[in-house]
Amino acid sequence: MSILEVKNLSHGFGDRAIFENVSFRLLKGEHIGLVGANGEGKSTFMSIVTGKLQPDEGKVEWSRYVTAGYLDQHAVLEAGMTVRDVLRTAFDELFKTEARINEIYMAMADEGADMDALMEEVGELQDRLESRDFYTLDAKIDEVARALGVMDYGMDKDVTELSGGQRTKVLLAKLLLEKPDILLLDEPTNYLDAGHIDWLKRYLQNYENAFVLISHDIPFLNDVINIVYHVENQLLTRYSGNYYQFQEVHAMKRAQLEAAYERQQKEIADLQDFVNRNKARVATRNMAMSRQKKLDKMDLIELQAEKPKPSFDFKMARTPSRFIFQTKDLEIGYDRALTKAPLNLTFERNQKIAIIGANGIGKSTLLKSLLGIIPPIAGEVERGEYLELGYFEQEVAGGNRQTPLEAVWDAFPALNQAEVRAALARCGLTSKHIESQIQVLSGGEQAKVRFCLLMNRENNVLVLDEPTNHLDVDAKGELKRALQAYKGSILMVCHEPDFYEGWVDAVWDFNEMS
């Protein structure tokens, strides 16, 4: 049975078309991966089916009584609510049921109350609470909070004191506790460490209801889905199987299409050559006209233009001193220290180091402390000489109304417009992207603009905070190649072993350091 159906959907931003006459069906229990390159419209599709965006054309139809849960990374959490308060809101309907039971008990005291009817209603409501494990909710909340690392923040902590990544994890935990008929998850692993990703993988593998998942973490995606919807060139195409099976079938279909295109182009050339040679001769004019009619009626096979692929290249500045950063009894944090013990770290010239560890324990704070963006709680950071630092920040403020063209031109006014456009194109952005406001671009496209700004400065040290978040497969592979080729030093926070294993010199496990 279809629980969600999208019919003849078309949508765009300005003169930039995102979808053209797209249809989609979600059946009960399907585990769907929504895949495609950055900017193809995956997050836009999620916003449309959840009602956050109205399509230009088409219909979105939900079955009656279906509950849907959407991981909205921009949701606002109410000040004064603790982490536990937010997680308990996942069961608001059950608390309303409990309140109704209490109202019925009060009504039983009224003279003339229909006791039989009231007792029957109480029994039905009580069964509903017991079937949903209402009386063990706190244990269930603790289980999910512990599995995702949310409990580490403190269940009584005000949610407005949490970082963006921590808030997203709280919202994810709340969503999983709600257990809706359909989960809509947009990049749920971005703020999870390896252990939490493994737990979420097992959870989704065993999830009896349906979900639609956007993720550029391919091993994770492959392990949890059984249907792929591929977003490409304003179309949505359905494939059965996991991600690796989709890749095989998609590559085969593309090869078949290219072969058919080549055969047709040869046939067109042969027919056109015959027409050109014979249309003027009386004896062969009819044959030439027949072939011309065949040419005119032919359904032409069109190959979609290749999407621009990024080409990253980070410029080297002069050689820095031997020691980039050295810390002495460093304690990091804001109001209180995040580290249990002082940190004594040494980061040397030409080292490439990955920092791993649970979300929220201070990896980003460490980078900002090393860079001098925030002061340490205690201890000191000694920075080397001749440092030219390139910093890629994990979280940036939204609402940027500049276009990529304006942002890069402002940063590098000595470049002319053609040079700015060429620099952005090398990062995989099209003319439409370059001329759109940054705030309407996808997360991956926005990241490419920031990489463009980083690439056009000479650096001898790259400090990267989760640089792979939001990047599609091609962009991630190219970034990995560029970082391997980079001759300078790299200090990088990353939660994807597939990205950093095999080329970094060392891995700092912040779980052990802190």
Q: What count of other Cβ atoms lies within 10 Å of the Cβ of residue 287?
A: 14
Residue 493 included in any domain: yes
pLDDT for the residue 513: 67
- Per the structure block, which two tokens stand in for 48? 């449309």
pTM of the model: 0.75
What per-residue confidence (pLDDT) applies to 379?
92
Burial class (CB in 10 A: 0-12, 13-18, 19+), 390: buried
| φ and ψ of 345, to 5 deg | -120, 150
Say which residue the tokens 């067109």 belong to: 268
3-state class (DSSP) for residue 317 = coil
Give a yes or no: residue 334 inside a domain.
yes
Choosing from 105, 125, 157, the residue where a domain stops is 157
pLDDT of residue 161: 82
- pLDDT attached to residue 103: 85
Pairing of strands 16-27, 378-383: unpaired
Q: Do 341 and 222 belong together in one domain? A: no
d(C-alpha 39, C-alpha 328), whole Å: 44
Asked whether residue 69 falls in the same domain as residue 173, the answer is: yes
Same domain, 56 and 124: no
Do 175 and 259 fall within a single domain?
yes
- Gap between the Cα atoms of 205 and 203, Å rounded: 6
**Stretches in the chain below the pLDDT threshold 50:** none
Both 172 and 153 in a single domain? no
Specify the pLDDT at position 395. Answer: 74
Beta-strand pair 2-13/57-62: antiparallel
Handedness of CA 452, 187, 238, 59 (dihedral sign): negative
The answer to the question of residue 275 being in a domain is: no
Would residue 148 count as lying in a domain? Answer: yes
What token pair was written down for 155? 């269940």
479 shares a domain with 376: yes
71 and 134 housed in the same domain: no
191 and 331 share one domain: no
Taking the C-alpha atoms of residue 341 and residue 354, their distance in angstroms, rounded to an integer, is 20
Domain boundary among 111, 140, 157: 157
For residue 154, what pLDDT is reported?
A: 85
Asked whether residue 208 falls in the same domain as residue 338, the answer is: no
Decide if 43 is inside a domain. yes
Q: Could you tell me the CATH number of the domain that includes residue 356?
A: 3.40.50.300
The boundaries of the domain holding residue 234 are 1-77+162-266
Classify residue 205: in a domain, yes or no.
Answer: yes
Structural domain count of the chain: 3
In this structure, are residues 323 and 454 in contact, taking their beta carbons and an 8 Å threshold? no
Question: With contact defined as beta carbons under 8 Å apart, do 216 and 470 qualify?
Answer: yes
Structure confidence by residue, pLDDT tens digits, 99-155: 888 888 888 877 777 787 888 888 888 887 877 678 888 898 999 999 988 888 888
Under a CB-based contact definition with an 8 Å cutoff, are residues 379 and 330 in contact?
yes
User: What CA–CA distance (Å, rounded) separates 68 from 49?
Assistant: 10
Q: Which token pair is 232?
A: 């490409």
Decide if 50 is inside a domain.
yes
Regarding whether 232 and 103 lie in a shared domain, the answer is no
Where a domain ends, among 116, 137, 157?
157
One domain for residues 231 and 203: yes
The long-range contacts involving 64-67, CB below 8 angstroms and separated by at least 24 positions, are 66/3, 66/4, 66/181, 66/182, 67/178, 67/180, 67/181, 67/182
Residues 119 and 173 in one domain: no
- Look at residue 112 and tell me if it is in a domain: yes
Distance of CA 402 to the CA centre of its chain: 22
The pLDDT score that the predictor gives to residue 483 is: 96
C-alpha span between 494 and 170 (Å, rounded):
20
| pLDDT reported for residue 327 | 93
